[in-house]
């Protein structure tokens, strides 16, 4: 039993390994995870900044794909019922010669299934050619070849049959229900009653989904831009960092020589080294503060640096001072803390925090018998986001510890980055011969943290355009149908003095009212969905009213442009020809 094993393992860790974490209520405990869950369910792991998938986004995109499919099905139902009068006489004749309703239903559903399967086959061929581009866009390696996979081909055909059946049932019931006597007498069959309100309802649903997608796309795009542009409390631009190796890791003096040589370049602003960089790992998870009863441990992210750590990263001192090479006691006694630590540890203000004692005992120096580093706060830095903006800033401590070095960070000038990187690589090769220089840019590391949101934004744009395009196709056809049904009415109105503008308003008004109703339905749904999504971000944009204004204006303009062709065509038609129309 995996759960029982995990419980025993965690109990052992609480008792013998992490008693202090248990006392402060920390949840820093190991757990077992199925291998198949790693990609989609590992986004909040400590010491792991790899870009993972997001299960919520996968489900959301699947729902969006379903939305587009539903819009297409609604289009078909709308057009099939709207144009049903064209087949009215055919149906009347079939019934007169003996066809019953069941036969007609099977015929019409069969036609829909055939159309759906052909569309599915066409989509399959298109997907086969689109997948390579999709893989490049998403950095995936999706394999899609139904021509070599009989099961996949069978699923595609079955999906076509199911979709065709669902989309064809209602039109088949409408068409098969025509009465032969009314049909053969050319009596009005469509355009009013049940089919009319259903067409209106389907148009509302289509455009409600489109407006929902427009609002969602704008909000996701703005949130993604906010994540990439928000001030992080330090300057991540033009900083490269890399892990130290060989003698650079083993010998602090050798590392200092290496850093000194890097500083000789006029294109390098500053160099620092230590254990823990923003966007990377940090060194420890707690410090002790003295109390009347002894000491109490507080959770904290502990960063280890050197005297140039603050300068290189562009951290901002809000009280006290920075580390100094001239202060020999800083190595053993000095701590910098952030503003959140000041608040959480009850120091009051940054100024009052200066001089407060801090103990750190996670690693004892090898060159001293002192088991605990007892020091004091010498400065307070502005809060900086050492992780992504998916998480709030928590208490942080920066200290000097020459014996522990894991990474080197180099601040570059923008003048000649290519040659500066070549210079760093040459110096690296002089000190480390067995490993190539493997560097990263800090801004790219932070950018990678929001790849999921960026991909979601891009895919939302694609889905929105698809949904609007499909909806407009249906609206265009319905506008043509409406103009055709009202041909004689339009002719009479023009004879009585109506101008082209009056005719355009007559044909456009109802459709624009439907789009307006769709927008009002979509607004609360969009607000609820996007507000819930934004709750995942401690740092987020506000949902402004103008986003909804843009969505409704865009929907109305798109609808107006879509139906304007048919409206103008009807408005400029010769009324004499209109009055001769059957």
Q: Please identify every stretch of the chain with a pLDDT value under 70, giving residue numbers as ranges.
A: 17-29, 43-52, 82-86, 178-196, 281-285, 362-371, 575, 577-582
β-strands 396-400, 334-338 pairing: antiparallel
Q: What is the pLDDT of residues 114-154, one digit of tens each?
A: 988 898 889 888 888 888 888 887 777 888 888 778 888 88
The CB density around residue 35, as the number of other CB atoms within 10 Å, is 6
Burial 3-24, CB ≥16 within 10 A → b, else e = eeeeeeeeeebeeeebebbeee
Phi-psi region of 478 (alpha: psi -120 to 50; beta: other; left: phi over 0): alpha
Residues 6+ apart with CB under 8 A from 224: 450, 453, 454, 456, 457
Q: Which residue reads 């004091």 in tokens?
A: 376
For the CA atoms of 60, 62, 65, 66, what is the dihedral angle to 10 degrees? -100
At residue 48, the pLDDT reads 60
Residues 6+ apart with CB under 8 A from 21: 14, 28, 29, 285, 286, 297
Q: Distance between CA 39 and CA 50 in Å, rounded?
A: 10
Which three-class secondary structure state does DSSP give residue 419? helix
Find out whether 337 and 399 touch, Cβ atoms under 8 Å.
no
**Strands (E) located in 151-275:** 239-243, 268-274
DSSP state of 235: -
Find out whether 271 and 262 touch, Cβ atoms under 8 Å.
yes
Q: Distance between CA 548 and CA 394 in Å, rounded?
A: 35
At residue 25, the pLDDT reads 46
Find, among 543, 542, 547, the residue nearest to 519 by Cα: 547
At residue 274, the pLDDT reads 86
β-strands 407-412, 268-274 pairing: antiparallel
Q: Distance between CA 94 and CA 169 in Å, rounded?
A: 19
The helix (H) or strand (E) run that includes residue 304 is: strand 301-305
Count CA within 13 A, CB hemisphere, residue 139. Answer: 8
Q: Distance between CA 207 and CA 249 in Å, rounded?
A: 61
Find out whether 400 and 334 touch, Cβ atoms under 8 Å.
yes
Question: What are the residues facing 409 on neighbouring strands?
Answer: 241, 272
At residue 192, the pLDDT reads 46
Find out whether 238 and 549 touch, Cβ atoms under 8 Å.
no
At residue 462, the pLDDT reads 86
The mean pLDDT value of the chain amounts to 82
Query: 0.95 exceeded by the pTM?
Result: no
Q: What is the pLDDT of residues 335-370, one digit of tens each?
A: 999 999 999 999 989 999 999 999 887 555 555 555
Q: Distance between CA 109 and CA 176 in Å, rounded?
A: 11
Question: What are the residues facing 319 on neighbouring strands?
Answer: 380
β-strands 357-360, 373-381 pairing: antiparallel
């Amino acid at each position: 039993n995996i759960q029982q094993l995990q419980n025993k393992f965690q109990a052992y860790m609480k008792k013998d390994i992490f008693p202090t974490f248990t006392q402060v209520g920390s949840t820093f405990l190991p757990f077992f995870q199925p291998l198949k869950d790693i990609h989609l369910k590992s986004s909040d792991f400590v010491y792991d900044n790899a870009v993972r998938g997001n299960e919520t986004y996968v489900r959301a995109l699947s729902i969006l794909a379903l939305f587009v499919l539903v819009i297409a099905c609604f289009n078909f139902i709308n057009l099939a019922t709207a144009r049903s009068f064209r087949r009215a006489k055919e149906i009347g004749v079939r019934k007169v010669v003996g066809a019953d309703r069941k036969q007609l239903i099977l015929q019409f559903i069969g036609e829909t299934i055939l159309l759906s399967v052909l569309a599915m086959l066409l989509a399959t061929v298109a997907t086969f050619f689109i997948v390579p581009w999709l893989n490049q866009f998403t950095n995936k390696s999706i394999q899609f070849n139904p021509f070599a996979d009989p099961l996949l081909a069978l699923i595609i055909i079955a999906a076509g049959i199911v979709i065709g059946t669902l989309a064809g049932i209602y039109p088949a019931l409408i068409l098969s229900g025509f009465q032969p006597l009314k049909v053969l007498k050319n009596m009005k069959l469509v355009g009013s009653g049940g089919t009319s309100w259903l067409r209106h309802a389907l148009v509302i649903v289509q455009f409600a989904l489109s407006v929902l997608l427009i609002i969602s796309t704008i909000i996701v795009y703005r949130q993604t831009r906010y994540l990439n542009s928000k001030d992080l409390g330090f300057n991540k631009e033009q900083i490269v960092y890399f892990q130290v190796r060989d003698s650079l890791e083993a010998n602090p003096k050798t590392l200092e020589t290496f850093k000194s040589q890097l500083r000789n370049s006029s294109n390098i602003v500053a160099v620092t080294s230590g254990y823990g960089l923003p966007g990377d790992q940090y060194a420890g998870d707690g410090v002790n503060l003295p109390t009347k009863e002894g000491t109490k441990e507080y959770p904290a992210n502990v960063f280890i640096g050197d005297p140039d750590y603050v300068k290189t990263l562009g951290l901002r001192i809000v009280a006290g001072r920075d580390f100094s090479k001239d202060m020999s006691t800083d190595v053993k006694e000095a701590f910098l803390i952030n503003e959140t630590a000041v608040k959480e540890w009850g120091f009051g203000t940054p100024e009052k925090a200066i001089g407060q004692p801090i103990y750190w005992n996670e690693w004892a120096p090898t060159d001293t018998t002192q088991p605990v580093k007892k020091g004091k706060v010498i400065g307070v830095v502005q809060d900086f986001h050492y992780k992504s903006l998916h998480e709030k800033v928590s208490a942080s401590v920066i200290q000097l510890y020459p014996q522990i070095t894991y990474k080197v960070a180099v601040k570059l000038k923008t003048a000649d980055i290519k040659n500066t990187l070549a210079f760093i690589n040459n110096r690296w090769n002089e000190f480390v011969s067995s490993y190539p220089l493997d560097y990263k840019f800090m801004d790219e590391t932070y950018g990678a943290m929001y790849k999921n949101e960026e991909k979601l934004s891009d895919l939302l744009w694609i889905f929105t355009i698809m949904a609007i395009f499909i909806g407009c196709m249906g609206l265009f056809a319905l506008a043509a149908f409406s103009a055709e049904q009202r041909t004689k009415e339009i002719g009479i109105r023009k004879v009585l003095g109506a101008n082209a503008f009056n005719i355009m308003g007559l044909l456009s008004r109802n459709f624009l009212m439907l789009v307006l109703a769709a927008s009002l339905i979509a607004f609360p749904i969009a607000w609820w969905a996007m507000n819930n999504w934004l709750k995942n971000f401690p740092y987020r944009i506000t949902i402004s009213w103008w986003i909804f204004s843009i969505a409704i204006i865009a929907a109305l303009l798109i609808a107006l442009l879509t139906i304007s062709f048919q409206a103008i065509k009807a408005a400029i038609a010769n009324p004499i020809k209109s009055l001769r129309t059957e």
